Amino acid sequence: MTISKCMNENLEYFTLVTLVDITRTGVTKNTPEQEFVRNQQRNWESVLQVIGLRSQPITVVEPYSEMIPEDVVNNIFGEMHHGQDQRVWCANFAVEHKDVFKKDKDQLGFLKDDFNQVPVICGLDETARFILPIFYSHGSLKNIIFNSGILGQQL
């Protein structure tokens, strides 16, 4: 058995879906002409840092975005973001430690808690509007969700 095969067997996969623009642009130096794409990258870096509080994330699929219909938005995020189709960002990642985000009986409990009220930069390519520029992972203001496993390229 190879080391990489052993590592792959221990990986636990997750998907996050958010209304916040987390586009990975690769822009890490702030210049006035690149402020917009730098801010998109900052949001992506925040996602990786929060996941990294408990385990080193391995990016399986970098963030991609798509428009989803209003009824799907209501099912995923609740009625706070009703009234129109919305752009969402999805990212798949893995971690090498089983149950690292498990809190009580919720497989994703610590992940939800860690993300709740983390600041974000708004006014990018998102279509949703937020009361405060933060991730909400609970309640009627929810703008980020998590699933165990990898979702396909379509919601």
Residue 19: pLDDT above 70? yes
Q: Which residues of 55-64 are buried (b: 16+ CB within 10 A; e: fewer)?
A: bebeeeeebe
pLDDT (mean) for 142-147: 96
pLDDT of residue 3: 45
pLDDT (mean) for 102-108: 96
> Which residue type sits at 66?
E
Strands (E) located in 6-152: 12-18, 58-68, 86-95, 144-148
Pair 25, 150: CB distance under 8 Å: no
Q: Which of 29-38, 101-110, 143-152 has the lowest mean pLDDT?
A: 143-152
Provide the percentage of residues in the chain whose pLDDT is more than 90: 75
